[in-house]
Structure 1
Amino acid sequence: MFKLFKTKSQVNICAPVSGKIINLENVKDEVFSTKMMGDGFAIEPMEANNIVSSPVKGKVVSIAETKHAVGIQTNDGKVEILLHIGLDTVNQKGEGFKALVKNGDRIESGQPLIEYDRVLMKKKGYDMVTMVIFTKPLNESIDLVKYEGQNINAGDHILNV
């Protein structure tokens, strides 16, 4: 039969960590707050967090040598996401971070990707805000203003793109 209407496929984006949602504009780093790397949102993790999970089903396309950032592409290739863990954590040169996946791995939404030493990061004074950045331009803008300040759990649905 003929398809008269094309259905627009959507990708469900889930929280990679438990914590409080913050608009990207409120992140204390100009690279993220001015959206130089792309649109998205951030989560201020709860004190007990030390695992960052995948917000989508897809494939790991890059893991920073320092293990503080992971690039993910959805299975359909339409959405590319950068998960960036903490501000200035690149300066740790990988110390305190452990990759639980490798480049090329197929992943499920909610699957643990990176584990970090919460105590070490706190002792060194790092802000562990976790950014979810859409690095491939989206057809729509991300509007999470209504969620600003709300607490969420890792794996909770946040939005569709």
Structure 2
Amino acid sequence: MFKKLFGKKEQNNEELLVAPLTGKILDLEEVPDPVFSQKMMGEGLAIEPTSGEVVSPVKGEIVQLFPTKHAIGIKTDSGLEILVHIGLETVSMNGEGFEGHVEVGNKVKPGDKLITFDLDLVKEKAKSIVTPIIITNSDVVEQMDKLNSGEATKGETELLQVKVNQ
């Protein structure tokens, strides 16, 4: 017991990712864009959203918020880097219909609101509403297990259990 209190703190190298959006869980191979479906950006999965709110899938720090607010990057304490990219070819919308609720450097925890967006506008103006959730530094991943399929609820549904190399 005293070792736990006073001993050297072990670094946790496991990360649990919860759904950043509410919607249908898709395999990355189902994303209608080869950059994502062929895992050029990294491993992960995607969600076809049914509402326009993105929450943090993990505890970490915001390391990137694109000026157009269509994508956000988060780094966890274990070093995992996660990109949530709302829709496909949404950069061409130049931020129209997107609102950021965090800034680079902010600390977040699962369920914290990151971005809201006009789902109907994205449906109308973008190639797809499918939203990839990518581990951009997949080289540090020792093991990744997909925990759910079907429907996801933002901030609640557990998506991935990831073990990070130390």
TM bracket (short chain): 0.7 to 0.9
Higher strand share: 2
TM-score, with length taken from structure 2: 0.84
CA apart distance, 1:159: 2.1
After TM superposition, the structure 1 = structure 2 runs for residues 9-158 of structure 1, keeping only pairs within 5 Å, are 9-46=13-50, 49-74=51-76, 76-124=77-125, 126-137=127-138, 138-140=140-142, 142-144=144-146, 147-148=148-149, 150-155=150-155, 156-158=157-159
Mapped partners of 1:68, 1:56: distance in 2:
18
Residue 9 and residue 45 in structure 1: after superposition, are their counterparts in 2 closer, same or farther (change >3 A)? same
SS in 1 for 2:41: coil
Contact 1:39 1:141 in 2 (8 A): no
Deviations 1:35-59 (A, max 9, x none): 111100101112xx01011100110
**Structure 2 runs not aligned, ≥5 long:** none
CA apart distance, 1:119: 2.2
Contact 1:86 1:127 in 2 (8 A): yes
Amino acid at match of 1:109: P
Once the two structures are aligned, what percentage of the paired residues are identical? 44
Residue 9 and residue 143 in structure 1: after superposition, are their counterparts in 2 closer, same or farther (change >3 A)? closer
Mapped partners of 1:134, 1:147: distance in 2:
17
Mapped partners of 2:104, 2:12: distance in 1:
29
TM-score, with length taken from structure 1: 0.86
Aligned-pair RMSD on alpha carbons?
2.1
**Structure 1 runs not aligned, ≥5 long:** none
Contact 2:84 2:134 in 1 (8 A): yes
